[in-house]
Amino acid sequence: MEFTINGSLPRVPHKKHWQFCVGSGHALLALRTDYTRQLKYIHDALGIDRVRFHGIFCDDMRTCNDLSMQMDLPGAEAYTEYNFNACGVAYDNVLAAGMKPFVELSFMPGKLAIRDGRPLTGGFFYKPNIVPPADYAAWREYLQAFIRFLIHRYGVEEIRTWYFEVWNEPDLPYIFWNGSRDEYFRLYAETARAIKDVDSQIPVGGPSTSGSKWISSFVAFCHENNVPLDFVTTHQYAGDPLGGVEDQGDAEGQAGGFESWQEHLRQAGEALAREKEKTFLAGYRAATPDKSETTDIPDDLFRKNAARTHEQAQGLPLYYTEWNENAIFSAYTNDTRKVAAYDVKMALAVADHVTGSSIWCFSDVFEELHPFPQEFHGGFGILTQNGIPKPVFYAMKLLADAPDTRIDLGPEVFDAEVGAAAFEGNGETHVILFRQKMKQLDLPKKEAVIHLACAKKPASVTVRRVDEEHGNPLKLWEEMGKPVSLNHAEVEDLKARSAVQEEEWPFTWQDGMLTIRAELGVNDVYGFVIR
């Protein structure tokens, strides 16, 4: 594959939309020092401005209490309180890291939750209540108390710079929302109006769906019913276990109901019976296989759906508040450069369609499904639980460091297996090469050639490589014998030995044309700087 870069190509702004926000687990984790330390590192190193997490209203945050929780006495439930102090500490930690919260309003406090026979909690480690409120007047009072608490603590001008998103993935029953689409629309309307009645300038949006779903009907509902809507949010994964718009063929539907969920559990049970290694991690991987390695998942789903969702948003700001290569927790390839190549390619490919986005997620300090002890267990994080950067960190660092002017190489660079992006500014030209495939295959390397028009011979060409030998702490950990736990010295040693360094790279220059050659393995990412 050859790429020619010259002065005739269009120059456009480099839209670093992924720096808008990053995802993380649930609110209780934001009270931990390791979480806060890693969050600041991600902000400082990658320039990410906000963080989004689930569960600010979960019962482990103890925001809505009554005396019966402590004393089993007649009438004790009538003695109630709101306590948002833990929320304040979580947000204090976010602000101390130099970031702002992207507030996901979830999940339902147990005291407010409806109890009408539907399952109350989702299947996650921290057991969120995933049902509507029993009484919308009580929900409104609770929400407005929360907003007033934030305004009192941080000031109204600060809170107006935050974003408030109603719920998370309400299209996924038995996981995040045990209700219908219409029940979510009512929850959104009641929530948005309650917040706007406190302060009309606080931004509120949704529907925070998986797979780019519900956007058309949600926007129409808000317009037809005069419901406040400042921005649109949705999510997209390539290896999504429950499918996206194209997989389901119904952009307005929900994931399968109870029967589908039971079938999923049945298949997981059969997989467990076949698995011979009886460790927790092996069992989890058997029950939730990485479909991106076993099936032919298209690599352009995010690009296509972002373009379509941009149109469906009807001019409103569009935020993909979760996206990544894989939604399968514990997938082995989550720790590999497969995620690095995908994330670089998609960050570039969707830039014209999204206002901002949020990679899921910044750290393996994460308890949505299970807090595994192994340092490399296939978590979603850009960093491991002890803060070791994974390949995706180094790949996104190439994009973060690239100048603010992008040289438009055309959409075809995203159609081939080997793609490229180019940037210029501050007397430098940056070129990023990526060889992206949805399966981490052992294939022969492919040559990529860069031709760059430049009047003078460059003083230097350097490269940062993300490949089998560079930026690959997983390989080093495996060579150590896969120790379940690491001490501080081992963590620092892995960081140092896997850190990506800038190195000189050979080139030729003749008659005003610079030529650089490189051979890329599957899912390698190379970042060149020409000075």
Mean pLDDT of 215-227: 98
Give residue 239's pLDDT band: very low, low, confident or very high (50, 70, 90): low
Please give, one letter per residue, the 3-state secondary structure of 72-122: CCCCHHHCEEECCHHHHHHHHHHHHCCCEEEEEECCCCCCCECCCCCCCEC
User: Rounded mean pLDDT of 62-72?
Assistant: 91
Lowest mean pLDDT among 282-291, 388-397, 493-502: 282-291
Sorted by where each starts, the structural domains of the chain and their CATH numbers stand as 3-9+404-530 (2.60.40.1500), 10-401 (3.20.20.80)
Token pair in block for residue 70: 């402590």
- Type of residue at 183: E
**Residue 507 Ramachandran class (φ > 0 left, ψ -120 to 50 alpha, else beta):** beta
Q: Is the pLDDT of residue 242 over 80?
A: no
Residue 250 has what pLDDT?
45
Rg value, the chain, Cα: 24
Show which residues are catalytic.
Answer: 169, 322
The predicted-structure confidence for 1-44, as pLDDT tens digits, reads as follows 999 999 999 999 999 999 999 999 999 999 999 999 999 999 99
pTM: 0.95
- Rounded Cα distance between 208 and 172, Å, is 11
Q: Residue 251: is its pLDDT beyond 70?
A: no
What value does the mean pLDDT take over residues 198-214?
A: 97
Q: Tell whether the model's pLDDT for residue 200 goes beyond 80.
A: yes
CB distance 395 to 466 below 8 Å: yes
| b/e burial code for range 153-188 (CB count within 10 A of at least 16 → b) | ebeeeebeebbbbbbbbbbbbbbbbbbebeebbbbb
